[in-house]
Structure 1
Amino acid sequence: MKIAEFGIENWLNQWEKSAKYDISQSTIKSMSVAELLKVNGDNEQALTEQLLNTQMNYGWIEGSPEFKQLVSQMYHHVKPNQVLQTNGATGANYLALYSMIEPGDHVISEYPSYQQLYDIPRSLGADVDLWRIHESDHWRPDIDELKKLIRPNTKMICLNNANNPTGTLLDYEFMQQVVDIAASVGAYVLVDEVYLPLDHPEAFTSIIDMYDRGIVTNSLSKSFSFPGVRIGWVIANDEVTDIFRKYRDYTMICGGVWNDILAVYILQHQDQVLAHNQKLVLHDLEIFKNWVDQEPRVSVILPQAVSTSCIKLDIPESTESFCLRLLKETGVLLVPGERFDLPGYARLGYCTDETTLKTGLKKLSAFLRQFD
């Protein structure tokens, strides 16, 4: 089995720890456990005692009953037994694709998007067609192009909603068209839903609530600000979930006892966490908008209050070399668009602390003045 280098992960593995002003990430500013307790207004004693006194065995293999119940309640038509805990959404995507895709299967993947969604199927021997997004249509793919790509034997359509790196959200009406096309040939629709639009989160409809052959992956890493917990989940119908169980035994035993306890605690307080993050995202998005309006060498299709954006840079060099020089000379980190097959663009994560964001944007503007 051969697989392409994971472009964005390779870049971040090399450079993120050397950044002084990291405005590359797609996570809403990560929290410490102390910050989480402050957001929730809780005393640390109960959580600390639970962590210290729980036996460090394998714990609940699929995730604790509390975890599965709390996740299922985030959806309209999901039972706890359909929820499987994973090692982040990365582990959820891998499990779903590893379980379902075989050599010769036809897969349609949104492109560019999270690289797992097209390069893992390729590595498994699938015939992958890329369903391209278009800047001219606010980074949405064209539904008519999907109609041309679909085949009688299409096994799966893979989407990232909202999209990484552009932040574009596919609304309910658009997703219903995708479901109708998939249903016409019996294809599955896998959607990585880690980016929740926090301007109107209540209006978002998950694929699992739209389609019996929908598969949803998600985690606590992005909208919930806890990538360090490394807890995600995958949900599908009962039949597919049982398939996942078999393959999961080969890829993951459990999520970790402490990780599960923290995940349950975060989900028990998700209303407070999301309200806190909504305020941060909307505040930082306004700062970002104002900066773009005043920066002549940057343009952007603004995201819908999700934590990632894709800026277009008007510069006479490759964005990869520019981003590397930017980091080494100013300490500001972006992800060059080449890592998403989008040369001329860069991922800018605006949902960090205000000081880092403002300083990073100011230094980026100053660095861009060399081309004036």
Structure 2
Amino acid sequence: MKIAGFGVEEWLNVHEREAKYDLAQSTITSFSMDEIKKLTQADIYNQLNEQKMNYGWIEGSPTFKKEVSKMYQNVAPDNILQTNGATGANLLAIYSLIEPGDHVISVYPSYQQLYDIPRSLGAEVSFWKLREDKNWYPDIEELKKLIRPNTKMICINNANNPTGTILDRKFLEQVVEVAKSVGAYILVDEVYLPFDDSVDFAPIVDLYDKGISTNSLSKTYSMPGIRVGWTATNSQLADIFRKYRDYTMICSGVFSDQMACLVLENKDKVLDRNKKIVLDNLAYFKDWVQKTDKISCVFPNGLSTSFVKLETKKSSLEFCKDLLKDTGVLLVPGEAFDTPGYARLGYCAPHETLTKGLEVLGDYLQAN
């Protein structure tokens, strides 16, 4: 099996430890253990002391499954499968369903898993392109032209990484009708939850029986360190995934499951904290962009990631390399998403990091 290098991960793997001002990440400011302990008022360490360090619950504990199922309208806890982050969930779904000769449609640009894993398995992939002149929204008529009798799956990142685009309920219902015409699955990576109350967001599993929702606690819930994600599907797909899951992982681990349950049981407190971070930082970021030359952005609707357009003499890759070397500010160049001329800027870093990083970035843009 041959597969392309994972652009965004290769970039971060090499450079993220060099950053003084990390504006590349799309996680809302990660929790420290002390902060999550204080927020939840849980006796974390004594609970952990009582845990046997065995394999624990293979598919995720009953508490985990129950709490995740509450995020959806009609998904039974038994149809929730714990995975190693959303990357594990996406891999599981694609690995379980895609075969050589299948046709897959993927939103593009997007999280690279959603098109390069199908390619590596022998599927033909067509790109359903996001258009900057349409505020990074795709065209449903283009999807109708791309669909084929052998289209096995439509892959979407909602909200989109890197652009922050949100496909609302009404639009997704149109996508479902196109998928139904050929019996295709729809896989949606839903790790970014919008905090803009005007957005009518809906998980795909609530809209379509062949919908596959993948998610994790890494982005919206600020706990990437525990590496816990999941798939949410109908019972038939859950049984298919179980078989393939046995080949990709055993369990997430006792500690990770414990922390996942703690976050989920205190979801309202976590989301209240993160909504304030997102909306306060977004307001600051918008104001900074509007005052700064050589940069523009189609602003996201209350998410943790944005895609900025750079007006520099250098390529965006060269600019981001030199920016990091000269100032310590880290962005992800658009080349990591096959979209030169742009950069992913995660504005939900700690506020001090954001404000200083943007100040330094603004000065560097003017000089370059």
Task: Give the TM-score band, short-chain normalised.
Answer: over 0.9
Distance 2:39 2:258 in 1: 18
SS at match of 1:141: coil
Aligned pairs for 1:268-347 (under 5 A) are 268-347=265-344
Q: 86, 90, 106: which is aligned to 2:87?
A: 90
Q: Shift of the alpha carbon at 1:39?
A: 2.5
Q: Shift of the alpha carbon at 1:152?
A: 1.3
**Residue matched to 2:52:** 55
Q: 209, 215, 220: which is aligned to 1:218?
A: 215
Q: 179, 182, 186: which is aligned to 1:182?
A: 179
Q: State whether residues 168 and 200 of structure 2, in contact with CA within 8 Å, keep that contact through their aligned partners in structure 1.
A: no
The one-letter amino acid paired with 1:175 is: L
Matched, 1:4 2:25: no
Distance 1:84 1:14 in 2: 31
Q: 239, 243, 246: which is aligned to 1:246?
A: 243
The one-letter amino acid paired with 1:310 is: F
The one-letter amino acid paired with 1:103 is: P
Q: TM-score normalized by structure 1? A: 0.98
**Residue matched to 1:23:** 23
Distance 1:202 1:19 in 2: 33
Q: 247, 255, 259: which is aligned to 2:252?
A: 255
Query: Structure 1's 113 and 84: CA in aligned 2 closer, same or farther, altered over 3 A?
Result: same
C-alpha offsets along residues 289-326 of structure 1, whole Å, 9 cap, x if unaligned?
A: 00000011110000000110000011111000100000
The one-letter amino acid paired with 1:271 is: D
Distance 1:291 1:168 in 2: 20
C-alpha offsets along residues 11-48 of structure 1, whole Å, 9 cap, x if unaligned?
A: 000000110000011110111121112223x1x5x221
Q: What is the root-mean-square deviation of aligned Cα atoms in Å?
A: 1.0
Q: TM-score normalized by structure 2? A: 0.99
The one-letter amino acid paired with 2:240 is: I
Distance 1:139 1:204 in 2: 17
Aligned positions, number: 368
Q: Shift of the alpha carbon at 1:202?
A: 8.4
Name stretches of at least 5 consecutive residues in structure 2 with no aligned partner. none
**Residue matched to 2:165:** 168
Identical-residue share of aligned pairs (%): 60
Q: Shift of the alpha carbon at 1:201?
A: 8.7
Q: State whether residues 79 and 234 of structure 2, in contact with CA within 8 Å, keep that contact through their aligned partners in structure 1.
A: yes
Matched, 1:129 2:126: yes
Name stretches of at least 5 consecutive residues in structure 1 with no aligned partner. none
Distance 2:47 2:90 in 1: 31
The one-letter amino acid paired with 1:6 is: F
The one-letter amino acid paired with 1:23 is: L
Query: Structure 1's 232 and 110: CA in aligned 2 closer, same or farther, altered over 3 A?
Result: same
Aligned pairs for 1:148-159 (under 5 A) are 148-159=145-156
